[in-house]
Amino acid sequence: MSGQDGVIGEADDALRELIRRGALSGSKTEVLLSAPGQEPSAEGAAPAVHLRLYDIREDLGKRRQGMINETNADGAVTARHRPPRYVSLSYAVTVRAPEPEEEHRLLGTILRALLAHDTVPADHLTGSLAELGLPVALVAAHPPQEDRAFAAASVAGARPFVNVVISAPIKPETPGPVAPPVRKPLGVHAEERHGTEGPG
């Protein structure tokens, strides 16, 4: 694990771990983060898988309104916070190997491993993604959104790639405290006053 902070680093680590375990078990093939437009390695070098993050946007379909209550063992509300927001992280997954046949073989193995999951396995999650305990959706081999198709193709260069989208929840802000529950019934207290007051 890279130990990066934040949901993007945690999603990077989760995708890398999924590919390592699902497609490269027992292999020395590296899984690397590569910047868009960066040429990873020279021809003839050892095989490597490259994850290129090319788009970050809120997953509006998962946005929820209102507040979420936190309760104690007695069922009393102790805090309230907003529901988590979700961000869609789009990756172009490419392979670099000495021979095209090896690239295609590796890419096919990765594709099979990714298509086996609708969500990232919980034991691949770290940090806030693990703490929240919410599903982290994963979609592989769907075409990029129309307005990002050119960007996806550009970051992959001339190589074939698997488009992967992870929808990751972002931990909400620290819960706000709530007033303690009322323990006694409301009542009206009347106070009797003696004497009269003169004109002001």
Say whether pLDDT at 36 is over 90.
no
* Percent of the residues in the chain that have a pLDDT greater than 70, as a whole number: 71
Give the pLDDT confidence score for residue 69 in this predicted structure: 60
Summarised one tens digit per residue, pLDDT across range 78-92 is 666 678 889 999 999
Q: What residue has token string 């090896």?
A: 102
Give the pLDDT confidence score for residue 1 in this predicted structure: 42
CA distance 140 to 15: 11
Q: Are the CB atoms for 67 and 81 separated by under 8 Å?
A: yes
Say whether pLDDT at 171 is over 90.
no
Top mean-pLDDT range of 58-72, 107-121, 184-198: 107-121
Q: Which of 105, 62, 51, 70 is nearest to 86 (CA)?
A: 62
Give the confidence band of 77 by pLDDT, cuts at 50, 70, 90: low
**Residue that wins the pLDDT comparison between 8 and 28:** 8
Could you give the domains of the chain?
7-174 (3.30.2000)
Give the global pTM: 0.75
**Residue that wins the pLDDT comparison between 50 and 75:** 50
Q: Which of 82, 93, 84, 79 is nearest to 176 (CA)?
A: 79
